[in-house]
Amino acid sequence: MQDKKLRDDLNPSKTADHRFIHDGKSALKRRICTEGTRVKILKEITEWANDSAVGSPSVFWLTGQAGAGKTTIAYTIADRFETGQPTSLGASFFCSRQYRETRSLQRIVPTIAFQLARQCERYRVALFGVDTSDAVDSHTIQKQVEKFLFKPWMARTCRHGLRTFLVVVDALDEIEEVDRSSFLKELLESVEKDNITGLKFLVTSRPDRDIAKLCKSFPPGAICQLQKVPPEQAKQDVKTYLIAELTDLNGRPELDRLNDKSAGLFIYAATVVKILTKSELDMDEQLLLLRRLLSSTSSSLSSIDQLYQQIMRGAFEDLDDDLLPNRLRILYTFLCSAERISATVASSLVDTKVGIASKMLDRLHAVLYVEDGRVYWYHASFPDFIFNPTRSNFHMDDKEFTFSCDAAAQHSFLTHACFRIMNSKDTGLQFNVGDIKCSYLLDSEHSEELRENVDKNISPALRYACMHWTDHVSLSPPSKDSPINDMVTDFLQLRVLFWIEAMHLVGSSGECPHLLQNARNWVSKVPTMFPRLEFSLIMFTSYRTTT
């Protein structure tokens, strides 16, 4: 029983990122480096990973600014080490803000442990011998690293002569917790203290201050700073990529200008490629569009900011002033949703027609895309741009454009939207939302009928609202005058049992204590609410006890 519990806790089916490497079904658009690019960097990392000699650094840090190509390099390395190398790929965790699981610090070690256990039998035997009564992700990062990673790794039998395994942890800076560097800190301390052998860790991130401080003492052979790659080498890599993607423009001066404008930044080149290849444009049309994109001459902005400003202007400048706020609200909803959502769910949250959301997506095809019905952004630099008013509010051609998103205000808006959907008289939460005909039957005894009723009565928008209302509440600004106070009060006093029933029917009742705790934490920031919520908090405590 203990082995099964541990396997369930570690199972990366909880972690969307497991799909990125191991079965190739990631919804995130990732690809290996274009042939002939990043040759020197890939060679350097490959040689480090394959070096099992005593004294070879166990951790390699790849860093660079947003859009420099860190994830593509990490993905290429992971792909390369799946087969045919002296060192084998043991595990990978590609951090991303786009999934709840892949932006959680608590999921890194469990995912690595599960994947590594699949690759190394001796480690698996030692891991499942670990005594644990608590959920793995309830432990501190220090305990996770010690108990579930290095302790069983060191306990392997016949350690000498065993195969070396590579672990890839990409984009550590995208972890949402403020102590995102704690994983690397514990990793480095354990490696040094216990003289860990047989494991190599490739870690990538932006030059985050805390992460950079930890890596400051790394030897030259264990660090690669993309910002220090010679400009000529970076430009040549981008040019090779552009020639491969825009074959018709090879030899044209405009392609050289695009390469110069990219300044070695792959995200700039890749975004322009998406714009030029979205529809069936002939070469003359591509050249016309490319010249327009290259027309900006501002020297005070980075090239990617110039490009994002042009994309936003092109998408929204022809809209009437009365229509613009609604269209921007749709964009903000895609960027601030707690999980990736469909255009249908976004339109329900914004309370607009789904066709409008779809048209907005089409206008922003260079930065947003749809996969498996859900909307994703290509690169984290785009939401970074939108959330920064000094970058996304700008003056261009004698016009003022204001595209920035106030994240706190948007989360407050989405809180209202979730309560509106859950409180809807016709399609919201209600008694017996699963339309169960007989209370004496177990769910398993009429599972097919129940599943049909749940799909019919709990819409994707209602399901989202039930799962994530506390995510948006917790990110809304607390105030004694906020209308959210009354919404939370009424919900916890009048509808919480309907909500628990709905959460059970969608298979997420186990999330209820955690979500209610989020609500309670937010309420605690508004002391004047406590008398009004006394009954609700008592009920919350009772629910925690019974579950």
Q: Domain boundary at 270, 295, 320, which?
A: 295
CA 67 vs. chain centroid, Å, equals 15
Q: Is the dihedral of CA 321, 325, 331, 335 positive or negative?
A: positive
Same domain, 240 and 177: no
For residue 506, give Cα distances in angstroms to 126, 131, 380, 467: 36, 32, 30, 10
Cβ 264 vs Cβ 225: under 8 Å: no
Same domain, 222 and 102: yes
Determine which helix (DSSP H) or strand (DSSP E) holds 401, and give its type and residue range: strand 399-402
Same domain, 218 and 258: no
Q: How far apart are CA 514 and CA 530, in angstroms?
A: 19
Same domain, 147 and 251: no
Q: Domain boundary at 228, 257, 285, which?
A: 228
Q: The domain containing residue 240 runs over which residues?
A: 230-295
Query: What is the arithmetic mean of pLDDT over 142-170?
Result: 86
Q: How confident is the model at residue 494 (pLDDT cuts 50, 70, 90)?
A: confident
What pLDDT is attached to residue 298?
A: 64
Same domain, 200 and 101: yes
Same domain, 224 and 264: no
pLDDT of residue 19 exceeding 70, the answer is no
128 burial type by CB count under 10 A (0-12 exposed, 13-18 middle, 19+ buried): middle
Same domain, 235 and 224: no
Identify any residues that bridge with 165 across adjacent strands, giving them in sequence order.
88, 199
Same domain, 432 and 354: no
pLDDT in tens, 178-237: 899 999 999 999 998 888 889 999 999 999 999 999 999 899 999 999 999 999 999 999
Query: DSSP readout, 126-150?
Result: HHTT----S-GGGS-HHHHIIIIII
Q: Which residues contact 175 (CB under 8 A, 6 or more apart)?
A: 95, 103, 104, 105, 108, 183
Cβ 178 vs Cβ 184: under 8 Å: no
pLDDT of residue 528 exceeding 80, the answer is no
What pLDDT is attached to residue 321?
A: 86
pLDDT of residue 173 exceeding 90, the answer is yes
Terminus-to-terminus CA distance in the chain, angstroms? 20
Whether 418 is covered by a domain: the verdict is: no
CATH number, domain with residue 85 = 3.40.50.300
Q: Domain boundary at 187, 208, 228, which?
A: 228
Whether 414 is covered by a domain: the verdict is: no
What pLDDT is attached to residue 9?
A: 59
Same domain, 263 and 348: no
**Count of structural domains, the chain:** 4
Whether 7 is covered by a domain: the verdict is: yes
